[in-house]
Amino acid sequence: MEHGYFHPDRGYWQTTNEPPQHILDGYPEGTVDVPVKPSGLHEWNGTAWVEVLPDHAQLLTTERATMACSRLQGRLVLGEATCDALDAIANDDLTPWAMRQTINNAIEWSRTSQAMTELGYLLGYTDAQMDDLFRLAMTVDV
C-alpha cells in the first residue's frame, strides 16, 4: 500500500509500501506522514490536501506557445474570402515589407507571433477567435 510523506523544504514523495524503520529514521527532521496526494492539482497546506486549480490565463499562455500550423493549414481554415482580404493586405504597397513577406512566404504560422496578432486584428478577429482558428488549423491534415 502506498504511503505519502511531506517535508517543508523537500516537498512531497510517496512510497509503494511501508518503509522499514531504519529508512524512516533517515528521513529529514520535520518529515510528516500524509495521505497519498490525490492529484497533481493538490498542494499540502499543513493539515490536508487542497485542490489548486490552474490559472486560466497561464493555461492559455502555455497553450498558445504550442499553437503553430503551416501556411496552407491556416489558409484552408480561413477560407477563400478571408484569404482574398489577406492577399490584398500583402499586395498593398502601404503594408510594411516585412509583413508582406510574412503573409506570402512564412512556412509556419505561430500563434505567439506578433505578425499573427497584427494580421488577426487587421482581419477583424478577436484573440479568442484567433485561438479557435489555430486550434482548428492544427487539425487539418494536408
Q: Is the pLDDT of residue 1 over 90?
A: no
Q: Residue 37 has which C-alpha cell?
A: 496526494
Q: What is the pTM of this model?
A: 0.66
Calpha distance 11→69 (Å, rounded): 39
For cell 487539425, the residue is 139
Residues 6+ apart with CB under 8 A from 45: none
Instruction: Report pLDDT digits (tens) over 43-100.
Output: 999 999 999 988 899 999 999 999 999 999 999 999 999 999 999 999 999 999 999 9
CA distance 24 to 29: 10
**Domain range summary for the chain, segments of one domain joined by +:** 3-53, 57-137
Amino acid at 21: Q
pLDDT number for residue 28: 94
Angle made by CA atoms 63, 69, 75, in degrees to the nearest 5: 130
